[in-house]
Amino acid sequence: MIKVLVVDDHQLVRVGTARLLSDESDIEVVGQAASGEEAVEKSRQLRPDVILMDVQMPGMGGLEATKRCIRGNEDVKVIAVTVYEEEPHPSQLMGVGAAGYLTKRADVSEIVRAIRTVCAGQRYISTDVAQQLALRPYSSKDSSPFELLSGREMQITMMVVGGHTVPEISKNLSLSSKTINSYRYRIFEKLSIRNDVTLTKMAIKYGLINAEAVA
The enclosing domain of 175 has a CATH number of: 1.10.10.10
Average pLDDT estimate for 88-115: 86
- Whether residue 115 is predicted with pLDDT greater than 90 in this model: the reply is yes
Report the distance separating Cα 187 and Cα 193, nearest Å. Answer: 8
Kindly indicate the confidence band of residue 6, based on its pLDDT and cuts at 50, 70 and 90.
very high
Instruction: Specify the CATH number for the domain of residue 94.
Output: 3.40.50.2300
Which backbone phi and psi does 32 adopt, to 5 degrees?
A: -135, 150
Polymer length in residues for the chain? 215
Average pLDDT estimate for 25-47: 95
Partners of 6 in beta bridges: 32, 52
> What integer pLDDT is reported at residue 142 of this predicted model?
54
Strand order in the sheet with 100-103: 27-33, 2-7, 50-54, 77-82, 100-103, 124-125
Which backbone phi and psi does 52 adopt, to 5 degrees?
A: -90, 110
Q: Are residues 132 and 171 in the same domain?
A: no
Residues 95, 157, 149: CA angle, nearest 5 degrees: 45
Which backbone phi and psi does 127 adopt, to 5 degrees?
A: -55, -45
Q: Are residues 9 and 86 in the same domain?
A: yes
Q: Are residues 82 and 9 in the same domain?
A: yes
Q: Are residues 173 and 108 in the same domain?
A: no
Q: Are residues 149 and 202 in the same domain?
A: yes
Q: Where are the beta strands (DSSP E) in 64-201?
A: 77-82, 100-103, 124-125
Question: Domain boundary at 120, 136, 152, which?
Answer: 136
Question: Domain boundary at 86, 108, 136, which?
Answer: 136
Q: Are residues 32 and 114 in the same domain?
A: yes
Print the domain residue range for 128: 2-136
Residues in Cβ contact with 76 at an 8 Å cutoff, skipping those fewer than 6 apart: 43, 47, 48, 49, 50, 51, 69, 70
Report the distance separating Cα 173 and Cα 176, nearest Å. Answer: 9
- Whether residue 139 is predicted with pLDDT greater than 50 in this model: the reply is no
- Who has greater pLDDT, 91 or 2? 2
Q: Are residues 19 and 88 in the same domain?
A: yes
> What would you measure as the largest C-alpha separation in the chain, in angstroms?
54
Task: State the average pLDDT for the chain.
Answer: 86
Q: Are residues 167 and 131 in the same domain?
A: no
Average pLDDT estimate for 91-116: 88
Which backbone phi and psi does 79 adopt, to 5 degrees?
A: -110, 115
- Who has greater pLDDT, 205 or 164? 164
- Whether residue 120 is predicted with pLDDT greater than 60 in this model: the reply is yes
Count of the separate structural domains present in the chain: 2
> What integer pLDDT is reported at residue 23 of this predicted model?
92
